[in-house]
Amino acid sequence: MDTAGTDADWQAWQESWDRQQEFYLPDREERFRVMLDMTEALAVPGGPQGAGDGTGPAVLDLACGTGSISRRLLERLPGARSTGVDLDPALLTIARGHFAGDGRVEFVSADLTDPQWTRKLPHRSYDAVLTATALHWLRTEQLGVLYGQIAGVLRDGGVFMNADHMPDETTPRITEAAHAADRARRERAAGTPGTRDWIAWWDELSREPAVADAVAERFRTIGNPLTGDHSDGEVQPAARHVELLRAAGFAEARTVWSSPLDGLVLGLR
């Protein structure tokens, strides 16, 4: 969708997406901080001293949504370049509108379950591949295949990071207590002015004229969030992600951040 000439406030829509995500993930910024810390440490050509001098990393923002990672990446490393990949036409419309005119950013519509999705990428290799709160939509077998494809688009020494739901199945009582505490927090936050959950956010977006066609396409091809549209995905503990990354050809892999329910794993080619 060409967003030029529309009256939509794309920055406001991206920020409202961030607030909606923070309703579920109050520590979202902390995982982004660690993600960018490690990107700067491992993926900037010439080391961290190269940041901001026009030689920043080429980054693949995987399942990019509205471009939350890309925005933070470019704020942190102005010399970086980002390729955002997503299947959701509504979220991509917001992303394209927000970054319109910024030559450092480009977007690709692709289905990560398509065996040929990497052929749509505009570059053959990347210094870093970053993703957050997205890959739990995949089954474990699909995730293993995807990790192999990601390894194939990373340069030697490139870095991959995935921040997502990663509860530890070996500690069921701790996990249940964390879930209960999170539910109570969201119940308290639900009455705060301006707070929107997943359904309320999509309901509001569906009434934005500038993105109406893209929302209708999203509802038709991916699912309707207003009626419940989550896929038959799976969550794996961080240790399982590490195993899958090593099996996919990553030289090193480990957890670099965690909370009681979520984790950030890093794989180094």
The answer as to whether 1 is a domain residue is: no
- Count of structural domains within the chain: 1
The answer as to whether 5 is a domain residue is: no
Report the pLDDT value the prediction gives residue 49, as an integer from 0 to 100.
43
Q: Identify the bridge partners of residue 263 per DSSP, sorted by sequence position.
A: 164, 258
The answer as to whether 176 is a domain residue is: yes
The answer as to whether 4 is a domain residue is: no
The answer as to whether 236 is a domain residue is: yes
Report the pLDDT value the prediction gives residue 227, as an integer from 0 to 100.
84
Q: Which residue, 64, 140, 48, is CA-closest to 99?
A: 64
The answer as to whether 3 is a domain residue is: no
Q: Identify the bridge partners of residue 258 per DSSP, sorted by sequence position.
A: 263
Q: How far apart are CA 71 and CA 202, in angstroms?
A: 21
Residue type, 123: H
Residue type, 101: G
The answer as to whether 109 is a domain residue is: yes
In the chain, the N- to C-terminal Cα span, in Å, equals 35
Q: How far apart are CA 66 and CA 193, in angstroms?
A: 23
CB contact burial 98-112 (16+ within 10 A = b; e otherwise)? bbeeeebbbbbebeb
User: For position 191, which CATH number holds?
Assistant: 3.40.50.150
What is the phi/psi pair of residue 210, to 5°? -70, -15
Element (H, E) at 266: strand 262-268
Q: How far apart are CA 12 and CA 175, in angstroms?
A: 35
Instruction: Please answer whether residues 129 and 146 qualify as being in contact, where contact means their C-beta atoms are separated by less than 8 angstroms.
Output: no
- The model carries a pTM of 0.93
Instruction: Please answer whether residues 225 and 199 qualify as being in contact, where contact means their C-beta atoms are separated by less than 8 angstroms.
Output: yes
Range of the domain at 228: 10-268
Q: How far apart are CA 241 and CA 143, in angstroms?
A: 9
Tokens of 13: 């829509």
Report the pLDDT value the prediction gives residue 48, as an integer from 0 to 100.
52
Q: What is the mean pLDDT of each run of 10 residues along the chain (269 residues)?
A: 66 96 97 97 70 73 98 96 98 98 98 97 96 95 97 97 96 96 94 88 96 96 82 88 98 98 98
Q: What residues have CB less than 8 Å from 261, skipping those under 6 apart? A: 165, 166, 167, 175, 178, 179, 182
Report the pLDDT value the prediction gives residue 51, as an integer from 0 to 100.
41
